[in-house]
Amino acid sequence: MSERDVDEFAPDLIRELLFYLGENPDREGLHDTPRRALKAFQHFTSGYKQDPKAILKSFEDGAENFDEMVVQLGVPFWSSCEHHLLPFWGVAHVGYIPSSRILGLSKISRLIEVFARRLTVQERLTVSIAQALMDGLDARGVGVVLQARHSCMESRGIQKAGTITVTSVMRGVFRDKPETRAEFLALVNHAVGGQTL
């Protein structure tokens, strides 16, 4: 099926879903909903059309004699749970220690966005960000901590609003050297400082 066929067919699926839910997709308020919903889903999953490797532009210039931690804290993200197609959102804390190249600062946020704009789970999202940085930079180490709220848990099922799930992935020296891990986590904890999402 071509992309054009999908664009023609997908609104019909959303119309059928509206019927299934007991709605009338022809009423005025819902008339354009199938196309609007399709456009929203395309935005929510736009990461599938992006190559993480293409984002990781790095530089030797500026990296000479630099072997300390580079950390970005509190990067907002929005993603979609693959189990219920419902949003989860939060902040990412990412650090790395370069070997010979440094990353343009905006690239960390862009990388997070590529993986967040796919159907995923928080655990995979955390791993994907860490591994892409490790591989793309040949970094000495990478640490990633995500804090997120999940509407699939807050609005249905257990319905525990405000619950924050934390995942972390450590690679290289962040995993192998306790002092490096501790330094990174201390920076994360300081930045968080009782913040709520």
Q: Which of 23, 131, 152, 183 is catalytic?
A: 152
Edge-to-edge strands, sheet with 141-150: 119-120, 70-81, 87-97, 141-150, 165-172
Q: Which of 84, 131, 154, 183 is catalytic?
A: 84
Q: Which of 93, 113, 122, 147 is catalytic?
A: 122
Is residue 84 annotated as a catalytic residue, yes or no?
Answer: yes
Is the Cα dihedral 14, 16, 22, 26 positive or negative? positive
Q: Which of 60, 82, 123, 195 is catalytic?
A: 82
Q: Which of 93, 113, 147, 150 is catalytic?
A: 150
The Cα–Cα gap between 49 and 2 comes to: 15
What is the number of other CB atoms lying within 10 angstroms of the CB of residue 146?
25
Give yes or no for a contact between 94 and 167, defined as CB atoms under 8 angstroms apart. Answer: no
Q: Which of 81, 93, 113, 147 is catalytic?
A: 81
Is residue 93 annotated as a catalytic residue, yes or no?
Answer: no
Is residue 50 annotated as a catalytic residue, yes or no?
Answer: no
Amino acid at 149: R
Half-sphere exposure of 25 (CA within 13 A, CB side): 17
Q: Which of 8, 16, 83, 123 is catalytic?
A: 83
Residue positions annotated with a catalytic role = 81-84, 122, 150, 152
